[in-house]
Every structure is written in C-alpha cells, then in structure tokens.
Structure 1
Amino acid sequence: MAAMPNGFAGTGSCDQIKINGSNVWFPISIRHKDAEDLSGVFPDLAQEIFQSMKVDVAFGAKVPWKRVFVQLESGEIDMVAGAYHTKDRARNYVLSSPVIKEPVAIFVRADMSDRPGSLEDLIGLQGLAPFGATFGEEFDDFANKHLTISRQSFDDFSTNMELLVDGKADYLVIARQAGEMMLKDLGVEGEVEALPWPALENSLHYMFSKKSPCLKHINAFQNELEKRVEAGEAANMMKAFNASASGQE
C-alpha cells in the first residue's frame, strides 16, 4: 500500500472531495455530452469507495486535460481520477497504488503500405498526440529525442483522429481503447486501425493534491482500493464498459 507521505497530513475540513479527470478517455474517465459529472472506471470506482467511507464526492467542471493538473497543483481539486505514472507526477502529487495497466497504441491509416514495426520505425514520420498527454518517461524521452509529434490544443481529442484520416499525419499515439472508441464514434473503423504491437504499457493511478485537506482519508481510500482491485472489481468494470460500448449485454 502506498502510504501518505510525512508532512502532508491534510489539515482542515474535508466535507466533500472534489474530483476531475479526462473528458474523453474511454473507458477510464469520460464525460457524456452535456453531462456535468464524470463517468468511467476511475470516477465510478472512486465514488463507490468514498460513499462506503461516508465522504461526499463532487466532480469538477469540464476543462482541458492540462488544466486538470493545474487544478490539482493549486488544490482547486483534490483528486484526478486516472492518469499515467511518471516520476514528475510521483514527486508533485500523492499517487495511489496502481489500479490497472493500459496499452498505448499507434494508429495509422489502413491503406498505409509500409507499416511501422517498432518505435524506431516512426522516426522521420509525422505524428500526432493529445495536447497535455504524457505516456511515461520511456516513451516521452524517446519521442523528445527522435520523433516529430504535434500536440495541438484542440477542444476535442478526436480532432487528432480526423487529421489522421485526412492524411495530415502518418500516425496517432493514444490509449488503445480510447482510440478504438474514437474510430467508432467517427464512423471510420475501416479507414484507421491500431498497429498490433503496443507503444508501451503504463500503470494508471489516482492522484491526490498535496494541498488537499482530504489527504487525511488517503490511507482508508488506499486500503479499500487495494481490496477492490485485488477482488477484480476494476477489471470487471473495464469489461462492462467495453461490453456496453460494443452493444453486448
């Protein structure tokens, strides 16, 4: 269990924990059109845990992904519901134990003749990735040194997929399941596909602000989270969201 660090006891009142997350990261954290609250594996699981602890939950307003971490840094929100592990995040925030691991994929047009077989094969190609997204040190370091990846601050991450479809780039880096859902939503499943090899696989965590008074609850949250993860609850929720998206019962 990841224990609360010394010096961050979370003083003050915590009558309600404020949570925010991605608006479009299926099935990790999503916000349906015109919906105020988040849904997805991480928001739903967090809400269940805090309800069992008798702590009220409030979800933050829809803001860009990078802004979510500005909110966390300032203490405007208490928790981010789902984000990849990085060394910087481990230093700047209080991370939960790992909840799941998720593969990140490289999406290309289906008519691409010379398919990349590794990260090295992406060198010299034009790539896209969501603005503000980080995929972990190993990939980010390689990308910064060797790859050309545009990260524009579109209101909707699916704009990146549309640019790929239109031939404005050679590939898109994004979480596999989120990318596959974008293909379905845009109706371009036959035009773009994920390469069979994963760009990387990284662990996803809840992240608490070090300025949050709700840190006083973190050990109890961690204990309950680990029990539920070990019992397969997070994995079952992933399967349920995927089955629902596929139209299965």
Structure 2
Amino acid sequence: MYITNSAPYILYFAVSASIAGECTTIKMAGDIEYPPVTWQYQQDKTKIRGLALALAEKAFAEINVKIDPLHVGDWAKAQLDTKQGKVDLLAGAYINEERKVYMDYVHPPFLTDPVVLFIPSKKAYNFKFSQWQDLVSLKGVTTAGSSFGQEFDRFTEQHLDIEYKAQMDDTFQQLLSGNADYLIHGLYPGLASLTKAKLSMQITPHPKYVTEEGLYFGFSKKSPCKKHLNFFSKKINQYVKQKLPNSLVKKHFELWKEDFHLKEF
C-alpha cells in the first residue's frame, strides 16, 4: 500500500535529480578587466567577452552545450560565485591551494601570463628590482582577488605589504599619488588598462618579470557541469598544441579596443 502510493514521489525525485545533474548551458565568469582573456562587453554590460570565451564556445559547440558569459562583478566576486556554485566555469585563474578547494582545474593552462611591476615612469630609472626580496621594504597595490601563483602568494603573505583595490583605476591612483611604490599585475591586461585610462606615458612596466604563470579554466565543484572536465581538458590540450590561444591574442585585443573605442595599443 505505502510502496504503491509512494511510487509517484519516487519518480518525481528521480526526474528532479536527473534534471539537476544536466548541463545544457555553462555559466562562465572571469575578470572583467583582463583583456584579451576576458573583459566586460560594452554592448551588453551583463556579459563578458574575450579569447577565453572563444575557446570555451568552440569546444562545447561540439557537444551542443552553450556558454553563458556572465559579468557577475569584479574578480573577487567571480571567484566567490564559483565557490558558491552560482557560476559553473571560471576563466583565467592561476593555480593556488585556496581555489583547489572549491574548483576543479582544467589542464593544461590555455595561456601563460607574465606578471610584472608597474611603476611611475618618472621613478622607473631608479627603481631597482632583481628578486622578490627587493620588494620587502616597499608598498604595493593590486586588484581585489588577485593571485600570482602559489609560491609568490606565499611570499606575499609572509613578507610583502600589498593593498587590494576594487578596480584598476584605483590602483593607478594609489601609484601616482605616491601611496604605493609599485602595482603588481598581469603584463597584457595591465598595458591595456593603462591605454584605456590614458596613462601609458605616466606608468611603465618593469622589464623583469616577477613570475610567469599559467592561466586556467576551472569548474566549480558544486556545478553539474564539472562532468565535462575531461572533455574540456582534452580540447584545451588540443588547442594548446595547435597554438590556437596564442593566435587569438591579437584578434581579441583588437576587439577589446573596438569595444572601448581606443585607437592605440
């Protein structure tokens, strides 16, 4: 009697579980100030654009899964939403232990990203940097949620004084006002942000890299879409061997310039 009456409920929960495990659309987020990888799309500011999106769309079109490239907020918010499962896929992340807790990385990295120090141009000649230890007595600034690789993050936590700001424009203000000695950031998006802010003559990158890290995709451990991890890893490995991501860098810088109506970069 009870078994018969409970059958519809069993069927209901089985169907619900099946629906919950489906992944027909992948909600993807990234840094809204990291061209050419990801940036806020100016024609639809609820979305992001960039070469990371191009790679994801190309791969998942093969299995009829759509990508929804969402602007959820700044980089720190994008990571939080991934951690909470509100976002399925995070694009453009370095590897660190904190992210490994809530995210399954897609290997290999789709690009390598030089990390550099940006300094006021008028101080560039006298700015001495050859090793991380040289930064210990200085004041740094970067954007909220930034990570620069596990080893450097550990060094930062133990030895460096770095302030975290919500937007790149805020970091430039800190630097030019003298409240910071250096800005640490990815080289290419840093140069792009300087161009957009029309500060390319006032702020310059130091020629020596701080580090060079891989940029990865990562699935939220709470997302049903993580079932596509192996598939996406195989596709990214294929694209990297074909050097497809590198070939998209220039094209997406051009698209970024068009979005922001910039003539120089």
TM-score using structure 2 length:
0.83
Larger radius of gyration: 2
User: Paired residue for 2:235, among 224, 231, 237?
Assistant: 224
Contact 1:116 1:122 in 2 (8 A): no
Stretch moving more, 109-118 or 79-88:
109-118
Q: What CA distance in whole angstroms lies between the structure 2 residues aligned with 1:197 and 1:240?
A: 26
**SS of equivalent to 1:100:** strand
Contact 1:46 1:81 in 2 (8 A): no
What residue identity is the alignment partner of 2:128? P
1:236 is displaced (CA, Å) by: 0.4
**SS of equivalent to 2:143:** coil
1:12 is displaced (CA, Å) by: 1.0
After superposition, the CA RMSD in angstroms is: 2.0
Going from structure 1 to structure 2, the CA distance change for 1:158 and 1:52 (only over 3 Å counts) comes to farther
User: Paired residue for 1:134, among 142, 147, 154?
Assistant: 147
Deviation sequence 1:2-42 (CA, Å, 0-9, x none): xxxxxxxx971112111111111111111133522211121
Contact 1:107 1:173 in 2 (8 A): yes
**SS of equivalent to 1:96:** strand
Contact 1:22 1:29 in 2 (8 A): yes
Deviation sequence 1:175-195 (CA, Å, 0-9, x none): 011111111111111111000
**SS of equivalent to 1:104:** strand
Deviation sequence 1:25-65 (CA, Å, 0-9, x none): 11111113352221112122112211222101212233121
Runs of 4+ off more than 3 Å = 242-248
Aligned partner of 1:85 in structure 2 is 95
Deviation sequence 1:75-101 (CA, Å, 0-9, x none): 111100111111332343110111111
Aligned partner of 1:171 in structure 2 is 182
Q: What CA distance in whole angstroms lies between the structure 1 residues aligned with 2:41 and 2:25?
A: 23
Contact 1:123 1:146 in 2 (8 A): yes
What residue identity is the alignment partner of 1:70? L
Aligned partner of 1:4 in structure 2 is none
Aligned partner of 1:151 in structure 2 is 164
Aligned partner of 2:21 in structure 1 is 12
Q: What CA distance in whole angstroms lies between the structure 2 residues aligned with 1:58 and 1:243?
A: 22
1:132 is displaced (CA, Å) by: 1.3
What residue identity is the alignment partner of 1:131? A
Aligned partner of 1:208 in structure 2 is 219
**SS of equivalent to 2:28:** strand
Relative to total residues, which structure has the larger helix share, 1 or 2? 2
Q: What CA distance in whole angstroms lies between the structure 2 residues aligned with 1:195 and 1:37?
A: 32
**SS of equivalent to 2:183:** strand
Stretch moving more, 77-86 or 60-69:
60-69
**SS of equivalent to 2:147:** coil
Contact 2:24 2:64 in 1 (8 A): no
**Aligned sequence identity (%):** 27
Q: How does 1:1-249 map to 2 (within 5 A)?
A: 12-33=21-42, 34-97=44-107, 98-112=109-123, 113-118=125-130, 119-152=132-165, 154=166, 156-242=167-253, 245=257
TM-score using structure 1 length:
0.88
1:247 is displaced (CA, Å) by: 5.6
